Amino acid sequence: MAIIEIQNLRKTFRSGDVDVHALAGVDLRVKKGEFLAVVGKSGSGKSTLFHVLGGLTPPTSGTVKIDGKELTAMDETGRTRLRRESVGFVFQKYNLLPTLTVRDNLEIARDISGVKGPWGAQFLDVIRILGIEEKMERKPRQLSGGEQQRVAIARAIVNQPAILLADEPTGNLDTENSDLVLGLLQHLNKKFGQTVLMITHDPEAAAFADRTVQMRDGLLHSA
Summarize pLDDT for 26-77 with one digit per residue, the tens: 999 999 999 999 999 988 999 999 999 998 888 999 999 998 889 888 888 9
Q: Max Cα separation, the chain?
A: 55
pLDDT of residue 194: 92
> Quick one: 175 exposed, middle or buried, by C-beta within 10 A (0-12, 13-18, 19+)?
exposed
Instruction: Give dist(CA 186, CA 106) in Å, integer.
Output: 21
pLDDT of residue 16: 81
Could you tell me the pTM of the whole model? 0.90
- The mean per-residue pLDDT over the stretch 93-105 comes to 92
User: Helix, strand, or coil here: 164?
Assistant: strand
Instruction: Give dist(CA 110, CA 156) in Å, integer.
Output: 10
Give yes or no for residue 223 having a pLDDT over 70: no
- The mean per-residue pLDDT over the stretch 100-129 comes to 85
Q: Phi and psi of 65, rounded to 5°?
A: -115, 125
Instruction: Give dist(CA 19, CA 222) in Å, integer.
Output: 26
Domain extent listing, the chain: 2-222
Q: pLDDT-based confidence at 84, cuts 50/70/90?
A: confident
> Quick one: 41 exposed, middle or buried, by C-beta within 10 A (0-12, 13-18, 19+)?
exposed
- The mean per-residue pLDDT over the stretch 134-143 comes to 94
- The mean per-residue pLDDT over the stretch 151-174 comes to 90
pLDDT of residue 148: 93
- pLDDT > 90: percent of the chain: 59
Under a CB-based contact definition with an 8 Å cutoff, are residues 167 and 92 in contact?
A: yes
Instruction: Give dist(CA 93, CA 167) in Å, integer.
Output: 9
Q: pLDDT-based confidence at 117, cuts 50/70/90?
A: confident
pLDDT of residue 89: 92
Domain with residues 2-222, CATH architecture? 3-Layer(aba) Sandwich (3.40)
- The mean per-residue pLDDT over the stretch 90-110 comes to 90
Instruction: Give dist(CA 177, CA 185) in Å, integer.
Output: 12
Give yes or no for residue 98 having a pLDDT over 70: yes
Give yes or no for residue 131 having a pLDDT over 70: yes
How confident is the prediction for the chain on average, in pLDDT? 91
Most confident by average pLDDT, 83-87, 119-123, 206-210: 206-210
